[in-house]
Amino acid sequence: MKQREVTDPNNTTWTCVQAYAGLDSPAAEKATDIAETKEGKVPVVCTPSGGAQTVRLELSKNWLEELPDEQLVDEITANQGNA
């Protein structure tokens, strides 16, 4: 499973993964396809190293390779408390 780690200004390390990605089954592949929105966004779950609550995001499907760390941290920060 591909994941990314970023650290916010409070020194919390966040591990982010795309929902359903990396699961090796036809059902998981279908779930991944269905989860993508019409705008090309996919669900991403970011889990903190401690203290904070998991954050759910909708990001462009190329977030893993192309979204800068700073923007990912900004998305996490903006969505904290919306879980």
pLDDT for the residue 39: 77
Instruction: Locate 47 and state its tokens.
Output: 């889990």
Bigger pLDDT: 27 vs 59? 59
Contact (CB, 8 A) for 75 and 59: yes
* pLDDT of 12 over the 50 cut: yes
% of the chain surpassing 90 pLDDT: 57
Instruction: Locate 76 and state its tokens.
Output: 């996490």
Domain boundaries, the chain: 3-79
pLDDT for the residue 20: 65
pLDDT for the residue 33: 56
pTM of the full structure: 0.78
* pLDDT of 52 over the 80 cut: no
